[in-house]
Chains A and B, each alone.
Chain A
Amino acid sequence: MKKILYVLFLLVSLTSFGQIKKVDTTKICLPYSVGKQIMLDLNRLDSTTAILKLTETEVIELNKKIGAQQGIIGNLEDKVKMSDTIIQKTNEKFDIVDKINKNLVTDNKKLRRKNVIIEIVSGILIGALTYQVVTQ
């Protein structure tokens, strides 16, 4: 009798365990609020990804701009150097012209002195000749 009861107990237990609700492990059920939050997070991710792509393109363009601006700076620096050389060359030219001018001024002074002497001598000569003509 005991054995029969034992077998019955085992059968009832096994049946009970067999009746435990099977859980589908391939699916997950989410609460509405969590699903909504997931969609909001995904939306933020999509937005950030799209903005990131555009920002990367913007950075590339900005780097190109920096390159062009550096080119301009380089050219302007070269231009400044050239301008300095032009100024230096012009100063050299002015020095030469100044030297020539000084020489011309000196020559002019010498010529003036010469002219004055010639005028004096010719005046004396004319005076002497006139005196000689008048006294004769």
Chain B
Amino acid sequence: MKSSNGMTKEDLKKIEQIDKDINLLIESQKKLDESINEYKKEIEKIDSTISNIKVKKEVVNNYYEQKGKEIKDADVTQVDSLLRLRYKF
């Protein structure tokens, strides 16, 4: 039995079912996009933490480089006091 647009009931049912399936898939894809965005936000936070760590590393490096220079320039008394301070004797 054909309708006025030449479509059988069976065809119409099939097309409706296909449209439903496609819409469900599109909805699922939207959920996946949301999840991807959550992951992206998480990655942004992680990147920020990592760049903070890098800054800290630089600060630590500079601190110990400075300390190394101070030790190189230290005289006997200073080296002695550094050792005493280190080992508490």
Contacts and interface: CB of A to CB of B under 8 A. Distances in A.
Interface in B55-74: 56-57, 60-61, 64-65, 67-68, 71-72, 74
Q: Chain A contact residues (Cβ within 8 angstroms of B): what range?
A: 35 or more
A interface secondary structure, majority: helix
Contact of B76 (A32, A54, A61, A79): A32
B79 to A, nearest CB: 5
Contacts of B42: 64, 68
Contacts of B26: 86
Interface stretch (A8-16, A70-78, A117-125, A128-136): A70-78
B64 A39 contact: no
26 contacts: A32-B76, A35-B76, A36-B74, A40-B68, A40-B71, A43-B71, A44-B68, A46-B64, A47-B61, A58-B50, A61-B46, A61-B49, A62-B50, A68-B42, A72-B36, A72-B39, A72-B43, A82-B29, A83-B29, A92-B18, A93-B15, A93-B19, A96-B14, A96-B15, A100-B5, A103-B6
Interface of A: 32, 35-36, 38-40, 42-44, 46-47, 50-51, 54-55, 57-58, 61-62, 64-65, 68-69, 71-72, 75-76, 78-79, 82-83, 85-86, 89-90, 92-93, 96-97, 99-100, 103-104, 107
